[in-house]
A and B are shown apart, each in its own frame.
Chain A
């Protein structure tokens, strides 16, 4: 049970959006799909969900091609950054139609989430703010109960409280009803503790597709007095530093050799965002 993306290529005019992308989205995992603007994240998700067509390659959902296949597509729900729902439709009508198209949609749970997010179900789509436009789609994504849920910028426009609530609900939902979630976002720090697998896409090519643990083990963070840190990082591959007052943190690629660590320095796991920036720069 998985979504297999096989050698997908897609160009828009002379721009190559995806070049031979192959990934496997396994059952009941949470993936972070990370990439800079224009890297090809949304294009990839759009191809998986039959919204656009690939120039080459194919996508299999549990062994079925997702291209013009209702059965395969019924297993996927994609919450897009762009709104595809009719502007004049009320949220409660959208919920009702979602239930028609996805019989596994949990209406009671959706209404409960609407209460939590203080979403007025009698409002129509065009009257919602950017944040609430994301919220109603997030609620559908969390209530739809499909095997695969693709979230493209799910927290766009959400305030910190709502973002926090969303992450909490996502973890709760994943624990009670495991499914495959793919989160495409720029807020890497916020999702770094939620995602289990990291897919980094750069200029239409997959440059990393590993578990978070594997990815984090390629480097580490060292913190302490600036002078000690500066001394320690000499000759090491430093991908970034942060300084506050006399304290400094440095992000270093490579394996930790515990015996080399001087007193007064603290070693912690690599920061995913720093790693992402390093990997996708240039």
Chain B
């Protein structure tokens, strides 16, 4: 099987974007660091901003992960199965790498917090699970943060990959219907229906569900990790169902 080469190719595809992403992150931090240092009236506060921007970046990366790679694999005699396994390895490797790097960046910026009160950058983990983060030893806290972040990163990449694979299988009309229908239903129709018919009960239920998914009021990060794992498993299953019968569409 061509899994090794397929993985190497797909990791290589991501590398350039990841390098640019971190260059931008570092430049932004340096820029605001310098501004804060030079101008005594300016402040820079960010909690979870580094991981947040990585999540958005990885979701977009996931969204751009299918068509071009798929055709390249077909051209080079690589099966859908090898390509898919290669992609899963790539997602895992990317998630681990970026979770570690982000934690490193967060720790560096946490050190800067001590230098100036006007420049404060915190990690997403510390933001979500305040009490737990404070109660843990720094090493355990960092390891736990990395573990949870890997889960989140992998989940958003799988989400992007699932969406782009689904779009590839759809015809033009279905693509338009989904692109308009889903946002309209979620952002307009559902809130209106909730307000008019259900008296806000849907919003309460969604809020409860999201609280549970993200660790709840108890502040348990493993709820979030478990939610991510369940999402990843379901997402991988659905994506494979879409990819296994994908064909070139000339």
Residue numbers of A with Cβ under 8 A of B are 42, 46, 49-53, 68-70, 73-74, 76-78, 80, 82, 84-86, 97-98, 100-102
A101 & B77 in contact (Cβ 8 Å cutoff): yes
With A68-B79, A74-B2, A101-B2 in contact, is A85–B72 under 8 Å at CB?
A: yes
Q: Which residues of B contact A46 (CB under 8 A)?
A: 248
Instruction: Identify which of residues 195-250 in chain B touch chain A, using a CB-to-CB cut-off of 8 Å.
Output: 245, 247-248, 250
Nearest to B80 among chain A residues (CB) is: A68
Residue B68 at the chain A interface, CB threshold 8 Å: yes
Could you tell me the distance in whole angstroms from the C-beta of A182 to the nearest C-beta in chain B? 15
Could you tell me the distance in whole angstroms from the C-beta of A76 to the nearest C-beta in chain B? 6
A74 & B77 in contact (Cβ 8 Å cutoff): yes
CA distance A175 to B247 in the complex (A): 35
* Top 6 A-B pairs, shortest CB-CB distance: A73-B77, A84-B75, A101-B76, A84-B71, A52-B247, A68-B79
A100 & B8 in contact (Cβ 8 Å cutoff): yes
Q: Which residues of A contact B248 (CB under 8 A)?
A: 46, 51-52, 82, 84
Residue B81 at the chain A interface, CB threshold 8 Å: yes
Residue B1 at the chain A interface, CB threshold 8 Å: yes
Q: Which residues of B contact A51 (CB under 8 A)?
A: 74, 247-248
CA distance A113 to B250 in the complex (A): 29
A interface secondary structure, majority: loop
Nearest to A71 among chain B residues (CB) is: B1
Nearest to A50 among chain B residues (CB) is: B79
B81 & A73 in contact (Cβ 8 Å cutoff): no
Contact among B8, B74, B82 with A84 in the assembled complex (CB-CB below 8 Å): B74
Could you tell me the distance in whole angstroms from the C-beta of A42 to the nearest C-beta in chain B? 8
A97 & B247 in contact (Cβ 8 Å cutoff): no
A73 & B9 in contact (Cβ 8 Å cutoff): no
B77 & A102 in contact (Cβ 8 Å cutoff): yes
A50 & B245 in contact (Cβ 8 Å cutoff): no
Residue numbers of B with Cβ under 8 A of A are 1-2, 5, 8-9, 68, 71-72, 74-82, 245, 247-248, 250
A84 & B77 in contact (Cβ 8 Å cutoff): no
B79 & A70 in contact (Cβ 8 Å cutoff): yes
Nearest to A89 among chain B residues (CB) is: B72
CA distance A70 to B5 in the complex (A): 12
Could you tell me the distance in whole angstroms from the C-beta of B3 to the nearest C-beta in chain A? 8
Q: Which residues of B contact A69 (CB under 8 A)?
A: 79
Given A77-B77, A102-B77, 9 new contacts (CB under 8 A): A46-B248, A51-B248, A70-B2, A70-B79, A74-B2, A85-B75, A97-B9, A98-B76, A100-B5
Q: Which residues of B contact A78 (CB under 8 A)?
A: 75
Q: Which residues of B contact A70 (CB under 8 A)?
A: 1-2, 77-79, 82
With A70-B82, A73-B79 in contact, is A49–B74 under 8 Å at CB?
A: yes
Could you tell me the distance in whole angstroms from the C-beta of A107 to the nearest C-beta in chain B? 15
Nearest to B81 among chain A residues (CB) is: A68
CA distance A73 to B81 in the complex (A): 13
Q: List 18 A-B contacts (CB under 8 A).
A: A42-B250, A46-B248, A49-B74, A51-B74, A51-B247, A70-B2, A70-B79, A73-B77, A73-B78, A84-B71, A86-B68, A97-B9, A97-B76, A100-B8, A100-B9, A101-B78, A102-B76, A102-B77
CA distance A30 to B167 in the complex (A): 40
Q: Which residues of B contact A73 (CB under 8 A)?
A: 77-79
Q: Which residues of B contact A77 (CB under 8 A)?
A: 77
CA distance A30 to B5 in the complex (A): 30
Q: Which residues of B contact A98 (CB under 8 A)?
A: 76
Could you tell me the distance in whole angstroms from the C-beta of B206 to the nearest C-beta in chain A? 40
Could you tell me the distance in whole angstroms from the C-beta of A56 to the nearest C-beta in chain B? 16
Most buried by A among B9, B78, B250: B250
B78 & A84 in contact (Cβ 8 Å cutoff): no
CA distance A150 to B247 in the complex (A): 18
CA distance A70 to B72 in the complex (A): 14
CA distance A52 to B79 in the complex (A): 11
CA distance A80 to B76 in the complex (A): 12
Could you tell me the distance in whole angstroms from the C-beta of A118 to the nearest C-beta in chain B? 24
Q: Which residues of A contact B75 (CB under 8 A)?
A: 78, 80, 84-85
Contact among B5, B9, B247 with A53 in the assembled complex (CB-CB below 8 Å): B247
Q: Which residues of B contact A68 (CB under 8 A)?
A: 79-81
Nearest to B68 among chain A residues (CB) is: A86
CA distance A101 to B1 in the complex (A): 11
Most buried by B among A73, A76, A77, A78: A73
CA distance A195 to B71 in the complex (A): 29
Q: Which residues of B contact A101 (CB under 8 A)?
A: 2, 5, 76-78
CA distance A204 to B34 in the complex (A): 69
CA distance A70 to B1 in the complex (A): 5
Q: Which residues of B contact A76 (CB under 8 A)?
A: 77
Could you tell me the distance in whole angstroms from the C-beta of B82 to the nearest C-beta in chain A? 6
